[in-house]
């Protein structure tokens, strides 16, 4: 029984090991990022998983890997940015700058995804986005919570109620509301 269970577990885990091995093997073989992504997609791997595996294996090329992936799937710019920053948080600012160089229209979503993936780098991410030409009013409001735009105003303060004993005495000037002058 134990052997059958072990065999089942190994057979389920093996495809995942082969996928990672193929990406690592492609990197070791010196294939360009576009070929590695194409091979991964042909093997049924989604682009986000391929990007994460590629960056984990080769973090110094994170910007190149991300730009290649976004050229293949521009609609997935925010998702690709998120997995890339999670795979290499120290390269978050460089990744965002690379993404916005080819997908500037995705600035708010890309910055929100990057800051959600690496909130400790949010200042560097926003500065990098602005340095890459993104509109500061668009990216400065993008936060780890995914909010974009200006910060909402604070809630209104409750009214201040002054107890009657602290109010100044009223003068009898006929109108019934004039305070007594201290002079």
Q: Is residue 90 part of a domain?
A: yes
Give the number of other Cβ atoms within 10 Å of residue 90's Cβ.
Answer: 13
Q: Is residue 172 part of a domain?
A: no
* Sites in the chain below the pLDDT cut of 70: 1-21, 141-152, 168-183
Q: Is residue 163 part of a domain?
A: no
Q: Is residue 34 part of a domain?
A: yes
Q: Is residue 74 part of a domain?
A: yes
Angle at 116 between CA 110 and CA 117, to 5 degrees: 90
Domain that holds residue 66: 2-145
Q: Is residue 104 part of a domain?
A: yes
Q: pLDDT tens digits, residue range 22-70?
A: 788 888 888 898 899 889 889 899 999 999 999 998 888 888 999 999 9
pLDDT (0 to 100) of residue 52 = 92
- In degrees rounded to 5, what are phi and psi of residue 89? -60, -30
Give one DSSP letter per residue of 89-145, joined into a string. Answer: GGGHHHHHHHHHHH-GGGHHHHHHHHHHH-GGGHHHHHHHHHHTT--HHHHTT--TT
Q: Is residue 170 part of a domain?
A: no
Coil, helix or strand for 170?
Answer: strand
Q: Is residue 29 part of a domain?
A: yes
Into how many domains does the chain fold?
A: 1
């Amino acid at each position: 029984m134990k052997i059958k269970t072990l065999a089942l577990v190994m057979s389920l885990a093996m495809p995942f090991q082969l996928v990672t091995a193929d990406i690592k093997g492609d990197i070791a073989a010196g294939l360009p990022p576009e070929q590695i992504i194409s091979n991964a997609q042909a093997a049924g791997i989604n682009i986000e998983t391929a990007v994460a595996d590629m960056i984990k294996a080769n973090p110094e090329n994170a910007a190149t890997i991300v730009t290649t992936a976004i050229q293949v799937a521009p609609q997935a710019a925010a998702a690709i940015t998120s997995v890339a920053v999670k795979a290499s948080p120290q390269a978050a600012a460089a990744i965002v700058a690379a993404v916005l160089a080819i997908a500037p229209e995705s600035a708010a979503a890309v910055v929100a995804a990057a800051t959600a993936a690496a909130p400790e780098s949010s200042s560097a991410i926003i500065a990098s986005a602005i340095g890459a030409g993104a509109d500061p009013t668009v990216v400065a409001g993008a936060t780890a919570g995914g909010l974009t735009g200006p910060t909402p105003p604070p809630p209104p303060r409750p009214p201040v109620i002054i107890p009657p004993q602290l109010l100044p005495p009223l003068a009898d000037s006929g109108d019934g509301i004039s305070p007594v002058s201290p002079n």
